[in-house]
Amino acid sequence: MTTQPEPATAGRQGTESEVGSVFVSNYPPYSSWSADQLPHVHEALASAPRPDVDLGLYLHIPFCRKRCKFCYFRVYTDKKYDEIGAYIDAMAREVERYAEQPALLGRKPRFVYFGGGTPSYINPKQLRELVDRVKAVFPWDDVEEVTFECEPGTLSEAKLEAYKEIGVTRLSLGIEHFDDDILRENGRAHVSKEIFRVLPWLERIGFDQLNIDLIAGMLGETDDKWRDAVEKALDVAPDSVTVYQLELPFNTRFTKSLLNGDLMLPIADWETKRRWHEYAIEEFSKAGYEVSSAYTMVKDKETCRFVYRNSLWRGADLIGMGVASFSHLSAVHFQNVDGWGEYLARLGHGGSQPELPIARGKQTTADEQLTRELILQLKLGTIGSDYFQRKFGVDILERFAEPLARLQERGMLAIGDGVVELSRAGLLRVDTLLPEFYDPRYFGARYT
């Protein structure tokens, strides 16, 4: 095997929370996707259906009460009721157009994910209208998981009852923190009293799985405040807790403030954020939770299945609806247009014939598909070489011998009996390690 140069983004060990840090969610990097790949997207859509491959639907609800200062998603805080209605109609038209594509004919989703933005921002009437039209073309009576993301301050009992009615199995509550000063400083729309108002409703209505999110290292965080946040999260007793470390992609308000030199309070360095993250892991472990991934701890691995995550990380087809949404079909990645007006226009708003609003794509090679699954599954903490041998006919211990050896030497992972297992240090910085496995052409590539 020839020696390869080390990736420019690999092994980030600096103490500063530098601009450009990312949460790795796909491969190859999004910056390698382009409009000239669209013929491959349409070929994939025109291909024969693959009933043996899991199918998921992602519905992007891009509305929020406020834009968090660390947010890098496509969201809107200024849309009125009629505009939201037009968007919901456009999404339903998009779903209906996808249902006509040969590759999707007769296929039923295994999982559905409502993400945002803030899915809980829209009202029950708008939600039911969307769901009815989706189910009419993609029945989900047999779906295994329906995830719905929520912001506490947007919830009501009526909304939660509507989620239960449409079949939501996994409710993900974006708490992020319990300290009001930190919530306000970081641009969150909710405050702690809205979190505690919601909890009795959740207990009464009951969902198969309640997940809560926390973010380590938000602006204004201290040791005492983080310990208090973890204690309060334990009191909630969720089925799962997801802990993120604050990232600084290029297109956030925090990033602009840092680049302009006008951020008044410091953002914790990586060493501190990892220490806080590890503290949360230790405290939840004491309470009987187990590590499910680099970010998630679960109360019971049998009941917390994460169909969405596990299917995507093993090459499932995903059709994403909504502005700027991402999809993956038959080894081809693609993304929708990212502008409000163009998205609505492409789907017939104003009288034109509806068409799929796809803007760019990326056909992947067999080696890229292998690498994608490897790096995403590494986030689970443990991977077995036998899976990749069966699916790709490749011995990953040989194919990736050099990056694995480098990471083993640094104490980030251990290799034995065909298994690669991340150490705690590796788990806490997994996103910084993954570029070690990139093809050289993607070293140093901007992720987005």
Please name which of 164, 168, 247, 244 lies closest in space to residue 212, comparing C-alpha atoms: 244
Residues of the chain with CATH 1.10.10.920: 366-448
Q: pLDDT class for 5, splitting at 50, 70, 90?
A: very low
- Which DSSP letter does residue 380 get? T
Q: What is the pLDDT of residue 256?
A: 75
Per the model's pLDDT, the better-predicted residue between 70 and 355 turns out to be 355
Strands 111-116 and 326-329: unpaired
| Terminal Cα distance for the chain, rounded | 30
Say whether the peptide bond before residue 238 is cis (omega within 30 degrees of 0).
no
Q: CA-to-CA distance for 337 and 33, rounded, in angstroms?
A: 13
Please name which of 256, 257, 387 lies closest in space to residue 315, comparing C-alpha atoms: 387
- Tell the CATH topology of 366-448: Arc Repressor Mutant, subunit A (1.10.10)
Is the pLDDT at 13 greater than 80, yes or no?
Answer: no
CATH number of 30-311: 3.80.30.20
Q: CA-to-CA distance for 229 and 176, rounded, in angstroms?
A: 9
Residue 190 vs residues 13, 106, 176, 263: alpha-carbon distances, Å:
33, 41, 10, 22
Is the pLDDT at 10 greater than 70, yes or no?
Answer: no
Query: What is the per-residue pLDDT across 323-353, written as a single tens digit (0 to 9) for each?
Result: 999 999 999 999 999 999 999 999 998 888 8
DSSP3 helix / strand / coil % (the chain, rounded to 5): 40, 20, 40
Q: pLDDT class for 4, splitting at 50, 70, 90?
A: very low
Q: What is the pLDDT of residue 12?
A: 37
Q: What is the pLDDT of residue 79?
A: 95
Cross-strand bridge partners of residue 172: 149, 211
Q: CA-to-CA distance for 210 and 190, rounded, in angstroms?
A: 18
Percent of the chain whose predicted confidence (pLDDT) is above 70: 94
Task: Give the three-state DSSP class for 145.
Answer: strand
Percent of the chain whose predicted confidence (pLDDT) is above 90: 83
Per the CB < 8 A criterion, the answer to whether 332 and 420 are in contact is no
**DSSP H or E stretch at residue 175:** strand 170-176
Q: Which residues, at least 6 apart from 161, have a Cβ–Cβ distance to it below 8 Å?
A: 205
What type of residue sits at position 377?
Q
- Which DSSP letter does residue 352 get? P
Q: pLDDT class for 1, splitting at 50, 70, 90?
A: very low
Residues of the chain with CATH 3.80.30.20: 30-311
Q: What is the pLDDT of residue 6?
A: 36
